[in-house]
Amino acid sequence: MLKAIEVLTSYASEESFFLIHRTLLIRIMTKSFLIVIFSHLRCFPWLRQESLGVVAFAILGILGGGTMNPAAAQADAQADNAQADNAQATTPSVDPLPNLAPAYPLAVAVKGGDVYTVDLDLPGVWKTSDATVLFAEGTKLLRKPMNRPRCVVMHPAKGILVGDTATREIYWIESEGAEPKPLTNGYLGVVMALVVSPDGKTIYAGDAEKRATFKLPVEGGKPELVARVNARGLAFDADGKLWAVTPDAAAVKRIDVASGEVEDIVTGRPFQYPNGLCWAGDHGYVTDGYGKCIWKFTPDGKTEKWHEGDPLVGPVGIAITDTSLFVADPKQKQVYEFDRESKATKARLTPAAE
C-alpha cells in the first residue's frame, strides 16, 4: 500500500489528486454529518419522535443529492475513472533498479582484465572490462539474498563469492545473471572479508558479529572457527599464512591457519579506519577510510603511507594484480586502478551509455 501511494505521489497529476480528495471528503463528511445529526436530534424536545424520519430524509436529500443524483453519481464515477486512467497512463512500469549507476562501491576483486565491484546500495555486483555492466542484481527487499552485499572474492573455479550481511550468508554466483547459491545455511553473522586458500579448496571469512575468522569448504558447508580475529580484510602470502586487518589495537595480524596461532604484527593503531588488505610478495597494503590513504606495511610491523589524498576520499576495498592496485571508494562512487610503480590512477567504473 505504501509503495502504491509513493508511486501515485510521484506520477499522478495535481488535478487528479484534487478529484480524489474532493470525492472522498464529500462522502466522509456526508456520513459523519448524518451520524452527528441523528445522535443529537433527541436533544431538541420540540422535535417529536415521528418527525425524526422526515428530518432525516430531508438532510439525506440535501447532503446526499450529489451522490444519489444519477447524473452527479455518473459525473463522480467519470472523475474517478479519469483519475485512475491518468495515474495508470503517467505511472511507468516499476524497474527494480532504475537508472543503473554505481551507488556505493564497497569491495573489489580482479581476474585478468575483469574487475568485479560489490555495490552495497545498488545493491548488486558490477563487472568491468571495456565497460561496466551489472553482473549480479541484488534486491531492495530486506532479508533477501544480495540485499546488503559487502565483500567479494573470485571463486577458484568460476564466478565470484559474495558475503551478504542481510541474509548472513556467503553466495556463489557462477556467471552473469545466475541465481546466488548459498554456501553456509546462514551460519555466519556479518561477513566483512573473504579470501580463498592458495589451493582453492577453502573459503576464509571474517565475521564482525562473532569477531572471529571462520573457514568452510569452497563447495559449501558449516563454517569452523579458525581464530578469534575480527578481520575486515584478508589475504594469503606465499607461505600460506593468512594476513588480517582489524579495527582493534593490533591492526594487522598474521594467522597460522593450520594451528590457529595468531601473531600481532602492526600495533599502536597507526591507521585511522582500516578497511581492506592485500598482500604483495614481501609486504602488504591497507586502505584507510578516514585517513584517505593507502598504507604499506612489512612483516616486521613497519608502516608508511603509500598514497594519500586525491582521488581517494574514503577508500574501503582493495585488490591487487602484478602491476596494479584496485581500490573501491564509495564516497567517490568509483573504483580506482593505481599503477604499482608510477602510482598513476584511472577510474574503472564506467557504466555503458543507454
- Nine-digit cell string for 159: 564466478
Q: In what order do the strands lie in the sheet with 345-347?
A: 318-320, 324-329, 334-339, 345-347
Has residue 352 been placed in a domain?
no
Q: How confident is the model at residue 67 (pLDDT cuts 50, 70, 90)?
A: very low
| C-alpha to C-alpha distance for 124 and 175, rounded to whole angstroms | 13
**pLDDT computed for residue 70 by the predictor:** 43
Which tens digit of pLDDT belongs to each residue from 250-269? 999 999 999 999 999 999 99
What average pLDDT does this structure show over 199-218? Answer: 98
Q: How confident is the model at residue 102 (pLDDT cuts 50, 70, 90)?
A: very high
Q: How confident is the model at residue 30 (pLDDT cuts 50, 70, 90)?
A: low
Same domain, 82 and 150: no
Looking at residue 231, which CATH number applies to its domain? Answer: 2.120.10.30
**pLDDT computed for residue 350 by the predictor:** 86
Has residue 257 been placed in a domain?
yes
Which tens digit of pLDDT belongs to each residue from 132-185? 999 999 999 998 999 999 999 999 999 999 999 999 999 999 999 999 999 999
Domain boundary among 90, 120, 152: 90
pLDDT higher than threshold 60 for residue 127:
yes
Same domain, 190 and 59: no
Same domain, 123 and 74: no
Nearest to 158 by CA among 170, 173, 140, 168: 173
Domain boundary among 90, 116, 140: 90
The lowest-confidence range among 3-7, 174-178, 302-306, 344-348 is 3-7
Q: How confident is the model at residue 86 (pLDDT cuts 50, 70, 90)?
A: very low
| C-alpha to C-alpha distance for 150 and 262, rounded to whole angstroms | 25
Mean pLDDT across the chain: 82
**pLDDT computed for residue 9 by the predictor:** 40
Same domain, 45 and 157: no
Same domain, 65 and 145: no
Same domain, 189 and 274: yes
Has residue 95 been placed in a domain?
no
The lowest-confidence range among 50-59, 188-197, 332-341 is 50-59
pLDDT higher than threshold 70 for residue 193:
yes
Same domain, 170 and 277: yes
Query: 14 or 156: whose pLDDT is higher?
Result: 156
pLDDT higher than threshold 90 for residue 61:
no
What average pLDDT does this structure show over 102-111? Answer: 97
Query: 151 or 351: whose pLDDT is higher?
Result: 151
| C-alpha to C-alpha distance for 216 and 223, rounded to whole angstroms | 5
Has residue 319 been placed in a domain?
yes
Residue 24 sits in which domain range? 2-90
Q: How confident is the model at residue 107 (pLDDT cuts 50, 70, 90)?
A: very high
Same domain, 65 and 123: no
Has residue 100 been placed in a domain?
no
Q: Supply φ then ψ for residue 194, to 5 degrees.
A: -135, 145
Q: Supply φ then ψ for residue 91, to 5 degrees.
A: -95, 115
Which tens digit of pLDDT belongs to each residue from 298-331? 999 999 999 999 999 999 999 999 999 999 999 9
Has residue 245 been placed in a domain?
yes
- Nine-digit cell string for 187: 551460519
**pLDDT computed for residue 26 by the predictor:** 55
Q: How confident is the model at residue 100 (pLDDT cuts 50, 70, 90)?
A: confident
pLDDT higher than threshold 50 for residue 48:
no
pLDDT higher than threshold 70 for residue 81:
no
Same domain, 226 and 272: yes
What average pLDDT does this structure show over 121-132? Answer: 95
Number of folded domains that form the chain: 2
| C-alpha to C-alpha distance for 244 and 188, rounded to whole angstroms | 18
| C-alpha to C-alpha distance for 125 and 149, rounded to whole angstroms | 8
Same domain, 121 and 243: yes
Same domain, 167 and 263: yes
Has residue 97 been placed in a domain?
no
Q: How confident is the model at residue 17 (pLDDT cuts 50, 70, 90)?
A: very low
First to last CA, the chain: 32
Has residue 150 been placed in a domain?
yes
Same domain, 29 and 115: no
Nearest to 311 by CA among 347, 268, 283, 285: 347
**pLDDT computed for residue 214 by the predictor:** 98
CA-derived radius of gyration, the chain = 31
Domain boundary among 90, 116, 138: 90
pLDDT higher than threshold 90 for residue 63:
no
124 membership: H or E segment, kind and range: strand 124-128
